């Protein structure tokens, strides 16, 4: 089988789990679709032309499927993910050669769908939001998803009830739900036993996590992370994506208390204008965000922030945009993603009057990205000359080199022996390149998290 994955980290996790689900049926991952007897296209609906992109990829896969059929080989073609959820019927109408359409909440039923598709000879569609949680029915995760098997994603929460004006996620992923803490802890332990050293907890609103705890109570994300931090060998924890509204005091305190929790937080703000934040239904103002950043920095002084921004949301004026630039200058981001507003069918903002003209969106995006780029370059340049712990995850591009990540999620490469993959080592950063840092190994005996007294850099 061959899985093509688009979209967010949760789709990466889902693709790995779909592979796990199909393993007992004899399917094994292969690198290219032309040698696969099953191809899954795991799709994303978040922005522009998502559906067109799917149909154009399906056109390519159809050619492969037909060529294989001419040689007497069958190919099961499945479309999964958020476009499948939103436009399942349309996919079957426009691409009748697709065998299976399934949403993000039903992939534990894939084996049954494969069997039904084989029997019926017609297409199978399953875009329910079942009452049962798929996690209760999935086989145990086979292991990590990223190269080297050192860093892995783990979904703990899914769905969203926040209904931001611009966003399709509440419609494609369904209502918020959290996995029980024990199920998460068990999966994390298996990952660590398989060599994982860093886990990134995933959720559309990961800090809205409220899972059943083994003590009969409801656990917050902070409580869950405190328990995860007790797993020996789990050196690094991260979580994404969090919503500013759900940053509770206990979560801020976790940044102070847990050495395994990396000092880097992706905290989308979207806009720095109160008017826009309210139109977007974000549920907080620009100063709330500034104060939250202050609290985080008080708890963990070296914390670096990353964010998402949207320019050109309906109604955005020059003054609103200027307020966004102002917030960026005040906060200072180590990294960020920024997008032109893209109307999504069925969301409130799509039908709003005062849509912003495309050229104006382009102009604002350019100005915003120039400022963010400046901040990112300054942040990276600031690392040069410092000694930082790097978790090595994979061989580098040049022989003798390894690639890894700093605590602030910067890509770092350095000459190092392959035996260091899966371990943290101290690296002195020598150069800052466009999207990575290069450095020299200074020490190699660090294998666990760094306490606040140890993380001061040279
Ligand atoms: N749950 C996260 C966001 C998930 S979507 C949060 O609440 O912030 C990832 C990012 O895509 C969003 O933060 C937003 O910046 C962007 N995005 C979502 N819908 C969009 C749209 N219709 N147009 C442009 N960007 C969008
Ligand atoms: Fe979308 Fe808003 Fe939910 Fe994030 S919080 S997933 S942007 S609706
Ligand atoms: Fe895309 Fe769905 Fe993720 S729309 S961003 S794949 S939740």
- The sheet with strand 124-126 has its strands ordered as 2-5, 38-43, 76-80, 100-102, 124-126
Per residue in 333-344, is it b (16+ CB within 10 Å) or e — as a string? bbbbebbbbbeb
| 45 and 6 Cβ atoms separated by less than 8 Å | no
| 91 and 52 Cβ atoms separated by less than 8 Å | no
8 assigned to a ligand binding site? yes
Nearest CA owner, ligand 3 atom 7: 169
125 membership: H or E segment, kind and range = strand 124-126
**DSSP code for 401:** E
| 35 and 75 Cβ atoms separated by less than 8 Å | no
For residue 244 and ligand 1, the question of a CB distance below 6 A is answered with no
**DSSP code for 261:** B
pLDDT on residue 454: 39
The span from the CA of 414 to the CA of 396, in Å, is 8
pLDDT on residue 141: 63
Of 7, 159, 162, which is best to mutate to test ligand 2, by the most ligand atoms within 8 angstroms of its C-beta?
162
- The sheet with strand 304-311 has its strands ordered as 264-266, 304-311, 335-340
Which three-class secondary structure state does DSSP give residue 244? helix
Beta strands 387-395 and 424-432: pairing type?
antiparallel
Which ligand is nearest the CA of 160, by number? Answer: 2
pTM of the model: 0.92
- Name the nearest CA neighbour of 41 among 108, 111, 73, 88: 88
| 429 and 415 Cβ atoms separated by less than 8 Å | no
191 membership: H or E segment, kind and range = helix 181-193
For residue 167 and ligand 2, the question of a CB distance below 6 A is answered with yes
Q: Which residues contact 118 (CB under 8 A, 6 or more apart)?
A: 76
Nearest CA owner, ligand 3 atom 1: 44
The CA-atom distances, in angstroms, between 296 and each of 206, 256, 259, 268, 383 are: 17, 8, 15, 14, 20
- Name the nearest CA neighbour of 429 among 445, 417, 442: 442
The span from the CA of 443 to the CA of 428, in Å, is 9
The span from the CA of 179 to the CA of 186, in Å, is 12
Query: How far is C-alpha 234 from the chain's CA centre?
Result: 20
| 200 and 152 Cβ atoms separated by less than 8 Å | yes
| 52 and 17 Cβ atoms separated by less than 8 Å | no
Query: How far is C-alpha 423 from the chain's CA centre?
Result: 23
Which ligand is nearest the CA of 314, by number? Answer: 1
Per-residue pLDDT of the chain (458 residues; tens, 9 = 90+): 999 999 999 999 999 999 999 999 999 999 999 999 999 999 999 998 888 999 999 999 999 999 999 999 999 999 999 999 999 999 999 999 999 999 999 999 999 999 988 887 778 888 888 877 787 777 776 554 443 489 999 999 999 999 999 999 999 999 999 999 999 999 999 999 999 999 999 999 999 999 999 999 999 999 999 999 999 999 999 999 999 999 999 999 999 999 999 999 999 999 999 999 999 999 999 999 999 999 999 999 999 999 999 999 999 999 999 999 999 999 999 999 999 999 998 999 999 999 999 999 999 999 999 999 999 999 999 999 999 999 999 999 899 999 999 999 999 999 999 999 999 999 999 999 988 999 999 964 544 444 433 333 32
| 350 and 343 Cβ atoms separated by less than 8 Å | yes
The span from the CA of 241 to the CA of 216, in Å, is 26
Nearest CA owner, ligand 3 atom 3: 8
| 206 and 160 Cβ atoms separated by less than 8 Å | no
**195: exposed, middle or buried (C-beta count within 10 Å: 0-12, 13-18, 19+)?**
middle
The span from the CA of 100 to the CA of 89, in Å, is 11
Residue 364: φ, ψ to 5°: -65, -40
The span from the CA of 344 to the CA of 172, in Å, is 12
For residue 81 and ligand 3, the question of a CB distance below 6 A is answered with yes
Number of Cβ within 10 Å of residue 255's Cβ equals 21
The span from the CA of 125 to the CA of 99, in Å, is 8
pLDDT digits (tens, 9 = 90+) for 264-293: 999 999 999 999 999 999 999 999 999 999
Ramachandran bin of 160, using left for φ above 0, alpha for ψ from -120 to 50, beta for the remaining angles: beta
| 28 and 1 Cβ atoms separated by less than 8 Å | yes
| 421 and 150 Cβ atoms separated by less than 8 Å | yes
457 assigned to a ligand binding site? no
For residue 379 and ligand 1, the question of a CB distance below 6 A is answered with no
Ligand 1, closest atom to CA 167?
19
The span from the CA of 19 to the CA of 385, in Å, is 43
The span from the CA of 19 to the CA of 291, in Å, is 43
């Amino acid at each position: 089988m061959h899985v093509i994955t688009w979209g967010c980290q949760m789709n990466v996790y889902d693709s790995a789990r779909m592979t796990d689900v199909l393993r007992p049926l004899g399917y094994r991952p292969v690198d290219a679709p032309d040698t696969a007897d099953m191809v899954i296209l795991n799709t994303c609906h978040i922005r522009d032309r998502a559906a067109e992109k799917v149909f154009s990829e399906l056109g390519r896969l159809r050619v492969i499927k037909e060529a294989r059929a001419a040689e007497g080989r069958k190919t099961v073609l499945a479309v999964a993910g958020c476009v499948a959820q939103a436009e399942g019927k349309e996919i079957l109408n426009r691409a009748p050669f697709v065998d299976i359409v399934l949403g993000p909440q039903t992939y534990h039923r894939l084996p049954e769908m494969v069997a039904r598709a084989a029997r019926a000879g017609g297409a199978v569609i399953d875009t329910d939001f079942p009452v049962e949680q798929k996690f209760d029915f999935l086989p145990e995760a086979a292991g990590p998803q990223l190269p080297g098997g050192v860093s892995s994603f783990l979904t703990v929460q899914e769905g969203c009830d926040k209904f931001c004006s611009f966003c399709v996620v509440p419609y494609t992923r369904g209502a918020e739900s959290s996995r029980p803490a024990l199920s998460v802890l068990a999966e994390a332990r298996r990952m660590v036993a398989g060599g994982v050293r860093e886990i990134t907890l995933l959720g559309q609103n990961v800090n809205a996590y409220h899972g059943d705890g083994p003590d009969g109570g409801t656990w917050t994300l902070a409580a869950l992370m405190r328990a995860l931090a007790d797993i020996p060998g789990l050196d690094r924890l991260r979580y994404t994506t969090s919503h500013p509204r759900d940053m509770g005091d206990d979560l801020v305190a976790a940044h102070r208390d847990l050495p395994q929790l990396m000092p880097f937080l992706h905290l989308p703000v979207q806009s720095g204008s109160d008017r826009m934040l309210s139109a977007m239904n974000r549920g907080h103002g620009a100063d709330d965000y500034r104060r939250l950043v202050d609290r985080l920095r008080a708890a963990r002084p070296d914390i670096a922030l990353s964010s998402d921004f949207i320019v050109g949301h309906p109604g955005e004026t020059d003054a609103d945009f200027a307020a966004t630039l102002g917030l960026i200058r005040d906060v200072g981001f180590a990294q960020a993603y920024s997008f032109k507003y893209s109307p999504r069918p069925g969301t409130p903002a799509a039908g709003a009057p005062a849509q912003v003209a495309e050229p104006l969106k382009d102009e604002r995006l350019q100005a915003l990205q120039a400022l963010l780029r400046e901040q990112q370059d300054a942040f990276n340049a600031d690392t040069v000359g410092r000694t930082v712990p790097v978790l090595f995850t994979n061989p580098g591009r040049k022989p003798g080199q390894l690639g890894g990540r700093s605590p602030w999620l910067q890509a770092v490469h350095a000459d190092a022996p392959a035996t260091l993959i899966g371990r943290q080592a101290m690296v002195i950063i020598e150069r800052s390149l466009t999207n990575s840092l290069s450095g020299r190994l200074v020490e190699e005996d660090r294998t666990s998290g760094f306490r606040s007294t140890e993380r001061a850099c040279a």
